[in-house]
Amino acid sequence: MDVDERDDGFDDEHDTIHGAAAEDEEPQPLARVRYGLGKELLLFPDALVVHLREEREETRYHLASMRRLILMPGEHNPAKLVLMVELDDGTTVIAAEGVSNVRGFRVLLARLREIAPAIELDPEDMDEQLAQALDIRKRYSLGCYGAVLGSCLLLWIVYLVVAFIGAHGPR
């Protein structure tokens, strides 16, 4: 049997792999915020989706049923944000914890205002809060680097003192 005579199950004109994949694709999100390991927030024209890749879990909040979007600083690290959603039935759920991609979240927030202006933001000056979160994250990183550098410098000074005393000490 020649290579050309084999039937691979695909008709070149109708059943291509690319054609089948195009039918199964979901619509592209208007905004995507990646944070953590395999976690992302996706904004679609009708919903906000929290997608956890590792857990293979997806939670969809329809924009029509959202009353308010609440953003809070994280408990242990204020630069890692907690996003909560208040629904029409009065329940408030934590949608995402540890959102560290503040720049991406600002883009998502701008797109959300365009497509769903009726959703309230808490705090109202959420852009200011996000700018502060960026500043806090920068200071937090500088503080961590400074602490490590200071510890290394302190250990080096202790080493020099011990070496000096050892070299000039009693014999």
pLDDT of residue 67: 93
* pLDDT more than 70, % of the chain: 81
166: which 2 tokens?
């050892």
SS3 76: coil
Structural domains of the chain, count: 1
* pLDDT tops 90 at residue 62: yes
Domain, as residue range, for 95: 3-168
88: which 2 tokens?
């029409």
**End-to-end Cα spacing for the chain:** 93
Express each pLDDT in 145-168 by its tens digit: 889 999 999 999 999 999 988 888
- Strands 57-62 vs 66-73: parallel, antiparallel or unpaired: unpaired
- State mean pLDDT over 80-84: 86
What is the side-by-side order of every strand in the sheet holding 92-99? 92-99, 81-87, 66-73, 120-122
Express each pLDDT in 1-53 by its tens digit: 444 444 444 444 444 444 444 445 668 889 999 988 889 999 999 999 999 98
Q: At what angle do helices 126-168 and 102-115 cross, to 10 degrees?
A: 180
pLDDT of residue 91: 92
* Residue 46 DSSP label: S
Q: Cis omega before residue 29 (within 30°)?
A: no
* pLDDT tops 70 at residue 81: yes
pLDDT of residue 124: 81
* pLDDT tops 90 at residue 126: no
Distance CA 4, CA 74 (A): 62
Higher pLDDT, 91 or 1: 91
pLDDT of residue 171: 64
Strands (E), the chain: 31-35, 39-43, 47-52, 57-62, 66-73, 81-87, 92-99, 120-122
Average pLDDT of every residue of the chain: 80
